[in-house]
Amino acid sequence: MQGNGAGAGAGAGAMAIGPTPAGHQAELNIIYGMVEELSRQLADNRRVTEEIVSGLGRVRIRARERGLGNEELLGEATDELFAQEPNLEDMLSVLTESLDRAKQSRDANFTLLATYAKVFEGIINQFHVYKQKHIADVAAWHRSYRSQLAEARAENCRLREQMWEVQEHASRANDLLRDFRRKFDEDQTRWDKRVREKATRQELRFWKRMAMPEVDENEEGFWTDDDDLVDPIEKERLKKVEREVAEQALAGLGSVSSQQSEDSEGEGCEPPSLSGIMGGVAMERDRDGGLIPTPPPRPASTGSTGGQSG
């Protein structure tokens, strides 16, 4: 009994080594409870055995002290045993019952331990299978990830090369465009043509405005084609010329009115021209009596054409 208890305790201690699965803690608690109950029963049996041995020792000591022989010793022991027979029978029945219960507990514990060992072995096998599958899945995932990463890197390299090619072509096109613009601007014939065209347009504007002084420059429907190219500086210059002409006309009109007040005898004279007031060019009287308009100053750009119109 003691050997079986020690073996069960050692087996329980050996099985308790390592982490316990979460689903088997209750079964382990039941097994540990049975082992403790068996240990308690074994301790009771050991205590009863020690009492029997101590009783036999007392009988032998008493026989030695009294100098009794075997027959006398057996007679006294028989009397004592017969006196203690009811207690011994009760104790024997209790011990027999405890022994049967211990045997049943031992068999149940052995069956439970065998079942636990099988279940634990199955769990370990499942864990090994899961571990192998997990390692295989992780290795496959790493291979797939590396292949995808290599494809992405190759695609990035290809796109980067395409970008470099596009930048190279754009740089070459930009250089060609710069060369073309430089050659276009450095062409003396084309530059002279542009200068002549601009001077011709300015000359035409000059003669148009001199020919039609009564038409306002802001009036729509008259100055369209070449007059749209008149720069703001030219417009300011023309306005300044018109103001000077108007001031001269007003000064001439004042001198004429004072002369009329002095000549009260009714001498024949022509009435003053109102063209200056109406926006026309002021007229001056020459020695022959003809009227000559005062032309506005010529633009500075007409000097390049030598005064020739296009």
pLDDT at 48: 86
The total number of residues shown for the chain amounts to 310
* Exposed e or buried b per residue across 228-266, where buried means at least 16 C-beta atoms within 10 angstroms of its C-beta: eebeeeeeeebeeebeebbeebeebeeeeeeeeeeeeee
- Please check whether residue 94 is in contact with residue 44, taking contact to mean a CB–CB distance below 8 angstroms: no
pLDDT at 17: 52
pLDDT at 162: 96
pLDDT at 138: 95
Average pLDDT along the chain, 310 residues, taken 10 residues at a time? 43 50 70 84 88 80 73 70 68 84 87 90 93 95 95 96 96 94 86 86 80 71 54 77 91 72 53 44 45 53 44
Its pTM surpasses 0.85: no
pLDDT at 152: 96
**Phi-psi map region of 282: left, alpha, beta (phi>0 left; psi -120 to 50 alpha):** beta
DSSP string, 170-187: HHHHHHHHHHHHHHHHH-
Q: Which residues contact 286 (CB under 8 A, 6 or more apart)?
A: 292
pLDDT at 263: 58
DSSP state of 240: H
Residue 293, strand partner residues: 283
| Backbone angles phi and psi of 284, in degrees to 5 | -120, 145
What's the CA angle centered on 107, arms 104 and 109, to 5 degrees? 105
What whole-number distance in Å separates Cα of residue 49 and Cα of residue 74?
A: 21
The SS3 assignment for 249 reads: helix
Residue bearing tokens 């290809």? 158
| Backbone angles phi and psi of 105, in degrees to 5 | -65, -40
What whole-number distance in Å separates Cα of residue 190 and Cα of residue 97?
A: 132
| Beta-carbon count within 10 A of 38 CB | 21
Structural domain spans, the chain = 2-139, 188-259+271-305
DSSP state of 159: H
The H or E element containing residue 285 is: strand 283-285
Token digits of residue 62 = 């008493």
